[in-house]
Amino acid sequence: MKKINLNKLKELFAYISEKSSLFLPIESANSINFGMYDEKAKVRLDVLKTSKSPKDLFFPQSETLYSCQSAKGKISIEPQALQNDEFVVFGMKNCDFAALEILDKVFLSEPVDTFYKARRDNATIVTLACARPSESCFCKAYGIDCAQGAGDVSAWIIGEYFYWCANTQKGVALLEKTAHLFEDADEADVESAKAQIRDIVAKMPLMSLDLKNWGKGKTAEKFDSPLWDELYKPCLACGTCTFVCPTCQCYDIKDYKAGEKVVRYRCWDSCMYSDFTMMAHGNNRTSQMQRFRQRFMHKLVYFPDNNDGVFSCTGCGRCVDKCPASLNIVKVIKAFDKEA
């Protein structure tokens, strides 16, 4: 365990960002999201949740896959280079880290998504414990401990000090590189902080959310429930929940015509949108009720069906905070519980 005074963090960031890109929560135009560090950046490690999850550091909202150029009657294809530079993500919360492990199940299983893999391989992730969880958090319902990050490095902010310890080889390398800035700390220092966080977690209203009625093999029981017809009604069919979600992984592939050049790119898609999974024969989900049902069934039933019971939600609560209609996965789970 090592520690550094909070007023020396800037030195740490400057040092890390000299060697590799550093991404951390940055405030810009009244909104806080993960962004690249530079000395002018307004770093906001104090903020519990970034507006968007940090998933776009690994799976960007849009990215080029390749481009085609037509010249003198010939077409040439230019592949997109993979992101092979090392980078550090600093201050990721454990729910967002758990979400990456869910994305891994999708993108790192065969056929492996090389774009995603390159970013995962090159990232060192510093997970920061949540000092003040909020009422919209429910990570514990999925067995996630926000007091102890599971990234390459686990970190805590306690009083005037920033503490960290390494969990993986990549983490050890980062700690070694920056060792000259740190002083030794006692493991016991963080134990009481962890206990304090866990006490708060026990008091948060959604942490005890019960998922016993969900998971593998529940399709037949849930799919035709009349509750969906009631629940979806306030839904505006926007994509806020899917775009702020750390585990939503659906994407679309499109071509962008730029003169003689065609760029093939992929971008996040949302099951809330009317053209989601549009096929030559049309769309297999024609109503907003069906689209709404798809989102929650995917997270709570289909994904567990295909991934040994693992839910595709980590309880980060961004949908709870951000849904313009105040709808969310918690309300869906509770509505079904009430019915049962």
Contacts to other proteins by CB under 8 A: 28-31, 33, 48, 51-52, 61-62, 132-136, 200, 203-206, 233-234, 236-240, 242-244, 252, 254, 256-257, 265, 267-270, 273-275, 278, 320, 322, 324-327, 330-331
- In angstroms, how far apart are the furthest CA atoms of the chain? 70
* Minimum CB–partner distance for residue 15 and other proteins (Å): 28
* Minimum CB–partner distance for residue 103 and other proteins (Å): 18
Which of 39, 275 has the CB closer to other proteins?
275
Which of 113, 269 has the CB closer to other proteins?
269
d(CA 154, CA 166): 6
Handedness of CA 329, 148, 131, 52 (dihedral sign): negative
Nearest Cα residue to 57 out of 97, 10, 27:
97
d(CA 18, CA 290): 49
Beta strands across the sheet bearing 261-268: 74-79, 62-71, 261-268, 251-258
* Minimum CB–partner distance for residue 12 and other proteins (Å): 26
* Minimum CB–partner distance for residue 22 and other proteins (Å): 20
CA distances from 22 to 246, 288, 314 (A): 20, 40, 24
* Minimum CB–partner distance for residue 216 and other proteins (Å): 27
Which of 28, 169 has the CB closer to other proteins?
28
Which of 288, 306 has the CB closer to other proteins?
288
For residue 24, the one-letter residue type is: L
Which of 126, 320 has the CB closer to other proteins?
320
